[in-house]
A and B are shown apart, each in its own frame.
Chain A
Amino acid sequence: MTERKPNNGLMQPNIPVGIVGYGAYVPRYRLPASEISKMWKDGVGGVPIEEKAVNGLDEDVITMSIEAARNTMDRAQIDPQAIRAVWVGSESHPYAVKPTSATVAEAIGAVPNTQAADWEFACKAGTEAMQAAIGFVGSGMADYALSIGMDTAQGRPGDALEYTAAAGGAAVLIGRADESVAIINGSYSYVSDTPDFWRRAHANYPSHGDRFTGEPAYFKHVMGAAEALMDALDRKPDEYDWAVFHQPNAKFPMRVGKMLGFTTEQLKPGLLSPRIGNTYSGSTMIGLTAVLDVAEPGDRILMVSYGSGAGSDAFDLEVSDLIEESRHRAPTTEEYIARRTEIDYATYSRYREKIKMK
């Protein structure tokens, strides 16, 4: 088979753009992995993370997206009427038909002169919406576009993914580079039809290909996107201060980082999965918000998402001077993680509506 070589894979808009504001959300409840292990494995064997974030009974992707969007608006300090797109990427939209994004747009005061749509590409729906926003603003069609990655992920009881399927995510407002806390130098997407993980219509829980989710899926696509972006921009891993990868567990992002040549220090602030789990569409983006909370002006960030099915979006970002005054206008990602109430498996079963009342 002939190897396919992208000849123009680097995506850069005509008008320089960046992240004007950002905001995270993590619900307060935490289910320790040991609770799941105790329930299904008699507490025997290792666990992939320490604990995961669980949404409360009155929370879903709409309420969580609204809070992340409000945090973003607090940081950006712009008129919500100037937003021309509100896009929410998720695999747990509360309605099958009725846009999450329209409710979020209404709640932040962006209606009626705005696009609103829900995006889907497993765990990379949020970064896909970021790339669309880059195009929207970078072409001059919009001054601002809001992209959100948010999930309340469901894991089949007893399945390996139950340990990690978590709730949370983040929003970023894309605007002109000169107003941005982080300028986006370019992005690249790497996609192929790879059946590693899926959920059929009307199915409550996803299915997956066990070990097939590793080499031909996560590693191939994350590596493919990261290497192509760095190659196109002529950058080396040691030229970045921070790197954020999609975090389905604690091990994969560390391993892919090492394979690409990044150090543990570069990965540390953005690696949240050991403490909040895999927030699916929110995973890479909330990692980015944690990095932006601590980054200094001039810092370079590589961010690479991964969505099953499969694909990766890679971004090269450079932090600007505006970060210093902006970051304290809303709660930091670590403040949300510190807001922690531990629950047991029974409470988790109730909150995730695994107990059927009718």
Chain B
Amino acid sequence: MQVSTHWRLQEQRYNLVGETCEHCNSKLFPPRDVCLICEEPAQELFTFTGLGEIYSYSTIYDAPAGFEHNAPYTVALIKLNEGPLVTAQLTDMDNDELTIGQPVEMVTRKLRTDGDEGMIIYGYKFRPAI
């Protein structure tokens, strides 16, 4: 596991820090160099509220390496209130509670661990708003 890769992504993973386009005011997540809407450079950092709704979801029973520990778990597309779609795990909810359009909020949780001696990776997941 590349320690530096995870360290570089820390800000966006802990706090949903993306970008706002100074040309068309679109909000972007994850941060990228060029605005997806107007194709102009976008560099201004923007912290999302973490509020959104479930756009679509799928439950993983046969998890990829590093995520077996949590299976079964549900991955969703979350439509953030500011616009972008974000892929993230859902947490603190049962599969029979899920509905498209359900309001959710961002929480910081353990994403995975690198064995018994490696790093613990933290980042965003979404749960029903309290």
Q: Given the complex, which residues of B lie within 8 Å of A335, measured CB to CB?
A: 130
Q: Given the complex, which residues of B lie within 8 Å of A357, measured CB to CB?
A: 69
Interface-centre pick from B69, B70, B109, B120 (highest chain A CB count, 10 A): B109
Report if A331 contacts B (CB, 8 A).
Answer: yes
**In which size bucket is the chain B interface?**
10 to 19
Distance A63 CA – B89 CA, assembled complex (angstroms):
15
Q: Given the complex, which residues of A lie within 8 Å of B69, measured CB to CB?
A: 57, 357
Closest beta carbon of chain A to B95's beta carbon, Å: 13
Q: Given the complex, which residues of A lie within 8 Å of B107, measured CB to CB?
A: 63, 67
Residue of A nearest to B125 (CB): A58
Given contacts A56-B91, A59-B110, A63-B109, contact A107 B14 (CB under 8 A): yes
Q: Given the complex, which residues of A lie within 8 Å of B122, measured CB to CB?
A: 62-63, 103, 107
Report if B26 contacts A (CB, 8 A).
Answer: no
Report if A339 contacts B (CB, 8 A).
Answer: yes
Distance A324 CA – B120 CA, assembled complex (angstroms):
39
Report if B108 contacts A (CB, 8 A).
Answer: yes
Report if A318 contacts B (CB, 8 A).
Answer: no
Residue of A nearest to B112 (CB): A58
Given contacts A107-B15, A109-B15, contact A56 B108 (CB under 8 A): no
Q: Given the complex, which residues of A lie within 8 Å of B109, measured CB to CB?
A: 58-59, 63
Report if B92 contacts A (CB, 8 A).
Answer: yes
Which A residues from 291 to 345 make CB contacts under 8 A with B? 331, 335-336, 339, 341
Contact with A along B86-121 (1 / 0, CB 8 A): 000101101000000000000111110000000010
Distance A335 CA – B130 CA, assembled complex (angstroms):
8
Q: Chain A at the B interface: mostly helix, strand, loop or mixed?
A: loop
Interface residue from A58, A94, A341 paired with B91 (Cβ < 8 Å): A58
Residue of A nearest to B13 (CB): A107
Interface residue from B89, B108, B110, B130 paired with A331 (Cβ < 8 Å): B130
Report if B10 contacts A (CB, 8 A).
Answer: yes
A28 touches B92 (CB 8 A): yes
A106 touches B10 (CB 8 A): yes
Distance A341 CA – B15 CA, assembled complex (angstroms):
27
Which A residues from 50 to 81 make CB contacts under 8 A with B? 56-60, 62-63, 66-67
B110 touches A60 (CB 8 A): yes
Query: Would you list 16 pairs from A and B whose C-beta atoms are within 8 A, ordered by A residue?
Result: A28-B92, A57-B70, A57-B110, A58-B89, A59-B109, A59-B110, A60-B110, A60-B120, A62-B122, A63-B109, A66-B14, A67-B108, A103-B14, A103-B122, A107-B108, A357-B69
Which A residues fall within an 8 A CB radius of B? 28, 56-60, 62-63, 66-67, 94-95, 103, 106-107, 109, 331, 335-336, 339, 341, 357
